[in-house]
């Protein structure tokens, strides 16, 4: 299928079936495109919409985002997961605001050099935000192109990934780039779905090799199965007589980097050392619950203990990485969803 015919079919379909009322489309700016694209990584549109709207209310411009604290940004990200995305947003906002005079770069190379922006996200910002030619290859587009071309193999492999990029570049237009990019994402999300694709509604079905062969389920190739390991931990909900709960801030790198969490230990016997270090006297200990949280690369099985404590001095309040948190008068702190749930 010639690129021109492919583009015309996609754009004609978009005129009647594409999405034009998503929050980040009204209005379209490079800033809003960037925020939405980062949020949409590994996350579905329905989940992202309320987060995006709240984020825009608090940070309507790249300057406001750059001037916010990391904790404020992480607080608005609580529940979205993959928190490195939020930290990179903040870093990039500061670069654009303070080093680029609030001007987004327009080239793929310059955009891709910013923290958290990969080649596909850069393509989306350039093609939608600036209406300039650029290809994208997010998960939805990979699926459309892998089926259309019957490209074999898991897209996570470099050779397969590069092959799909070549196809994406081949079919990307020089005009109406913002509509074409959105159309390709919509086609994957609404029609060329992972299971039970609606091929009868597809504008390129007559040239889709997978559809012609009846092999839609074979493309794209599946990721090799891998046994996910399990880790175990104990969360300590240290609670003072006023009902405040102790939170500690994790180091920037590692699990839940930079987020505020309940103290975590491997063994309950470590409680005495922790209490001594923070100058707390343990009054009572009670088992609360046992849960599992699954990350992309491991399961975390954790027990939660409620610990009634009494502060012997102001050691906690003098500590920059520890704070007494009152659920009835919450601070704007970034914390992972499982911790937020335990506090609520």
Q: Assign residue 102 a region (left: φ > 0; alpha: ψ between -120 and 50; beta: otherwise).
A: left
Six token digits for residue 48 = 């992202």
Kindly list the distances between the CA atom of residue 178 and the CA atoms of 11, 31, 173, in Å, as whole numbers in the listed order. 10, 15, 10
**Residue 37 annotated as catalytic:** yes
Q: Assign residue 242 a region (left: φ > 0; alpha: ψ between -120 and 50; beta: otherwise).
A: alpha
Query: What CA–CA distance (Å, rounded) separates 127 from 331?
Result: 39
Query: What CA–CA distance (Å, rounded) separates 338 from 6?
Result: 45
Catalytic residue among 15, 37, 63, 242: 37
Q: Please tell me whether the peptide bond between 220 and the residue prior to it is cis, using omega within 30 degrees of 0.
A: yes
Nearest alpha-carbon partner for 115 in 133, 135, 99, 137: 99
Asked if 124 and 38 touch (Cβ cutoff 8 Å), the reply is no
**Residue 302 forms beta bridges with which residues?**
233, 291
Asked if 238 and 245 touch (Cβ cutoff 8 Å), the reply is yes
Catalytically active residues, by annotation: 37
């Amino acid at each position: 299928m010639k690129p021109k015919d492919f583009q015309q079919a996609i754009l004609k379909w978009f005129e009647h079936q594409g999405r034009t009322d998503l929050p980040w489309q009204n209005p379209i700016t490079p800033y809003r495109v960037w925020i939405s694209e980062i949020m949409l990584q590994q996350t579905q549109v329905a989940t992202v919409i309320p987060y995006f709207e709240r984020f825009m209310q608090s940070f309507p411009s790249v300057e406001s985002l750059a001037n916010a604290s990391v904790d404020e940004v992480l607080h608005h990200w609580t529940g979205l997961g993959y928190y490195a995305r939020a930290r990179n947003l903040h870093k990039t906002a500061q670069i654009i605001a303070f080093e680029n005079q609030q001007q987004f770069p327009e080239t793929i190379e310059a955009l891709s050099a910013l923290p958290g922006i990969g080649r596909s996200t850069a393509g989306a910002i350039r093609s939608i935000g600036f209406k300039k030619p650029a290809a994208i290859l997010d998960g939805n587009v990979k699926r459309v192109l892998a089926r259309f071309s019957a490209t074999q193999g898991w897209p996570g492999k470099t050779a397969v990934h590069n092959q799909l990029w070549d196809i994406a570049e081949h079919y990307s237009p020089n005009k109406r780039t913002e509509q074409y990019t959105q159309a390709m994402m919509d086609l994957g999300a609404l029609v060329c779905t992972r299971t039970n694709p609606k091929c009868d509604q597809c504008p390129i079905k007559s040239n889709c090799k997978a559809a012609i062969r009846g092999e839609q389920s074979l493309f794209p190739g599946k990721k090799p199965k891998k046994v996910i390991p399990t880790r175990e931990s104990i969360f300590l909900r240290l609670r003072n007589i006023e009902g405040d709960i102790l939170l500690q801030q994790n180091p920037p790198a590692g699990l839940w980097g930079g987020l505020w969490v309940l103290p975590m230990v491997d063994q309950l016997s470590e409680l005495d050392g922790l209490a001594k270090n923070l100058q707390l006297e343990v009054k009572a200990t009670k088992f609360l619950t046992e849960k599992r949280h699954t990350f992309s690369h491991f399961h975390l099985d954790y027990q939660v203990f409620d610990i009634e404590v009494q502060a012997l001095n102001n050691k906690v309040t003098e500590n920059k990485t520890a704070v007494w948190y009152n659920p009835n008068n919450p601070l704007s702190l970034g914390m992972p969803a499982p911790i937020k749930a335990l506090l609520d």
